[in-house]
Structure 1
Amino acid sequence: MTLAFDGDRLLAAVDVARTALVEDGQSPGRHLESTPEGEWAVAHYFEADLSGYRGWQWCVVVAGAPGSDETTVSEIVLLPGEGSLLAPDWVPWNERVAAGDLSPGDVLAAEPGDHRLVPNQIDTGDEFRFDDDRTDPDDIGQIAGEVGLGRRRLLSPEGRDETAQRWHDGQYGPHSDMAAAAAFNCVTCGFYLPLAGALRPAFGVCANEYSADGHVVAADYGCGAHSDVAAPRGEGSPAYDAFDDGALEIVPATANAGGDPTS
């Protein structure tokens, strides 16, 4: 007599295979597939999140026997997946770097032809020499700094527009959840410090330590900490819950042993 093999049971033994990997000290990812291997075995494949093994997979082979309901783990092996032995397509570093990648000690140079920057006048130190005592060099120096003297490159119109769009669409822009729930805009807030230059009408810096302190915010952004927000009325929350007289149980007076109900 020939006993039929229950292949569906081995194909469904995903938990058995995953448990074997965990007990072996591994951290398998999602289950990828189950593949029959011969008449009495099935191979289960899992993602392998291992440093240096991009695209590799864990393979766990489970087996059974005719007339038995037991599932046996036969083998655990790490195998390369499709394309894992090939180097990925080369991507230049300036296309791989993303916002937030810069860490202390890193150097990130702007390319000479960066479209976000344009050449600027260079301060040689000879522009502001005065023979009289009526002009304060510090005042002139402040103006020079605002117009960009002393910096080799400045924001180009394209760079400025990209920055403005990024800020406008970001966390502190007018379309954020915080701004949608606010009653007032930042441009009318006492904590709002407008930027200098061409971005002044649209952006500023928040000086409220309880809100977006130190962040660039859109003029039409807003939050609940606006300087004109009125304080809630009333004396605040009570220290104790109100006493409910309606919860008292009224008990009729009864005469005492002496017959005097008031004694």
Structure 2
Amino acid sequence: MPEADTAANSHPAASPALLEATELARATATELAEEMYGGDAVGEHEEAFAEDPHAVTHFFTARQPGYRGWRWAVTLACVEPGAEVTVSEAVLLPGPDALVAPGWVPWQERIRAGDLGVGDLLPTEPDDARLVPGYLASDDPAVEEVAREVGLGRRRVLSRLGREDAADRWRDGDRGPRSDMARAAPGTCGGCGFYLPLAGSMRAAFGVCANEFAPADGAAVHAEYGCGAHSDVEPDSGPVAPVAEVVYDDGVELEAKEPKQSKQPEENVSPDTP
């Protein structure tokens, strides 16, 4: 592949000496590549980009495996026209079409339900919108009974946003009214004897299952959730083995057939027999 036009992406006031110092930039990139990977890892010259009139960055294709789209970048500088060109920086950078790792996300934002193991700690942020100081009056009577006892109650309690987030999550989860188990259930949890309603504003829609044989035992369930272990389920008194229904087809008429008569051999028949 021919060398790229060094002036194609250059600054109008860039020093010509910097734009033309391709070999110095290549030698610098080759030396760095040999220290890091060894072998011939520097490819063709792609472009020269003028950072300002006194600095130009030369880009070379990276050939080492696993770095498709990456480029060796060597920045050259000179203080004034006619001065010596020096190497300012040499580094391996991702190009516009490079394969790069996903952006880093803090652990607190990556954590998902079920990730916490034995001994793991998950501290909450001081300004977590799901929590409010316990001395603030809330709109949940069950919370206020404890929260107003300044110094004796919990330091922080659920805010309205925190309760709404939990309600949305539980309703749309596997123990909500739209789950497959709920659709096939004979009744809802709200009418089950094993249903223990929650306190406060969550009481109207959520409770805890107390049936040890139910799949949601000990978990929060929606009042419209349900399963086959409902307290009103009665045993089936019908036959254990299914009996096939007798079907009569009245549309088919059977032809009457004459009964067959036994015939004796002719040689045994007497002509005098009446």
Query: What TM-score comes out, normalization by structure 2 length?
Result: 0.46
Structure showing greater Rg? 2
